[in-house]
A = this chain, B = another copy of it.
Amino acid sequence: MDKKHGKQSISFAAPPAMTATATVAGPMEGDGLLGGQFDRILEDNLAGQDSWEKSEAAMLEWAIRTAVARGGTLADIDFILAGDLLNQLMSAHFAVRGLGRPFLGLYGACSTMAESLLIGAILIDGGFASRVAVGVSSHHDAAERQYRYPTEQGVQRPPLAQWTVTGAGSAVLTQGGAGPKVTAATVGKVVDAGLKDVNAMGPAMAPAAADTLWHHLQDFGRQPGYYDIILTGDLGQIGKKLLIQLMQEKGVDIAANYEDCGLMIYRDDQDPHAGASGCAASALVLCAHAYPLLVIGRLKRILLIGTGSLHSTTSYQQKESIPCIAHAVAIEA
């Protein structure tokens, strides 16, 4: 049974269902545009832990446990797939070490929610699993001190910077079952447009998003209007404009039904600069906002394009440009 579809896409013969999701977010995210839609909002960024990193791991564990508990138990979960932005996936590993289920660690930077959904769907549609839990997290303060400066230092952020989302999202995929279906996916290539400003990740990631979206539409012979909404992960204000322009240059107009998760988290007066970023940006928008709309049929078809900036502080210090990736997952009611 050949499920390859065109050059870099796959389709699912028996599309797995997203039977549950769960989200937890930080106080700033709770005060933002989607505040009313999260399952849980932290009182502060530490959430009772003694470090930001442990707070992030605790959020991810809570999200996975909560999603799994909505219609099942941990013992029913064949595999957990997770990742995050911290070196060596610190949050994911500490989140799952008490869960006692087989685990696969993934790294696609902020594209990891899409990567985990597509590999989860492969496991189920391929017959290797009945039930898979996926989850990702990010944490503003933990990410800032790893990638840039400790937030206590109060360094002024450049105008193109995006604000890493504090939060975690998890989804459960099941063979059969009720819920929106993961119907197809397009696996991204690493695309490096030569940009070097790690404070402007949106523009760096836009060419990777354009490449994946273009191939997705080509592979399936679809127009952008096939989807109610095309959602990129965290291109932010500049990256979103650039993606629209890059697609226009290919003769594809996405302006009518395209949104970026990075612009759906914070209110403008929260001053996130160019928008939100982080693994949790797309995870929160998908799991807290789009998922319920798919369940009630308000949305019929969405394409989530997770976008990831794959640089490290070392690659930056060695004056390398920024390799980026984008993975697309089609979810249909």
Contact = CB atoms under 8 A, between A and B. Distances in A.
Interface string A80-109: 000100111110011011011111111111
Contact of A103 (B4, B104, B312, B325): B325
Interface residues of A, number: 62
A51 B4 contact: no
A2 B127 contact: yes
Given A4-B78, A53-B314, A119-B119, A187 B102 contact: yes
A129 B4 contact: yes
B318 A103 contact: no
A115 B310 CA distance: 20
A274 interface: no
A151 interface: no
Nearest to A111: B105
Given A126-B3, A310-B93, A315-B94, A83 B104 contact: no
A10 interface: yes
A95 to B, nearest CB: 9
Contact of A4 (B119, B128, B186): B128
A192 interface: yes
B107 A106 contact: yes
A176 to B, nearest CB: 13
A79 interface: yes
Contact of A108 (B86, B105, B192): B105
A236 interface: no
A144 interface: no
A312 B88 contact: yes
A320 interface: yes
A128 B121 CA distance: 11
A189 interface: yes
A272 to B, nearest CB: 23
B90 A314 contact: yes
A130 interface: yes
A320 B53 CA distance: 11
Interface string A1-23: 11110001010010000000000
Interface in A10-51: 10, 13, 50-51
Contacts of A115: 104-105
A284 interface: no
Contacts of A129: 4
B130 A4 contact: yes
A122 interface: yes
6 contacts: A3-B128, A88-B107, A90-B312, A93-B310, A94-B315, A103-B188
Which 8 A/B pairs are nearest by Cβ-Cβ distance? A126-B126, A102-B187, A88-B312, A8-B102, A93-B310, A1-B127, A97-B190, A87-B87
Given A4-B128, A96-B190, A104-B106, 20 more contacts: A2-B127, A4-B78, A53-B318, A87-B88, A87-B312, A90-B312, A93-B190, A97-B190, A97-B323, A100-B189, A102-B187, A102-B189, A104-B187, A105-B310, A105-B325, A106-B106, A107-B107, A122-B123, A122-B126, A126-B128
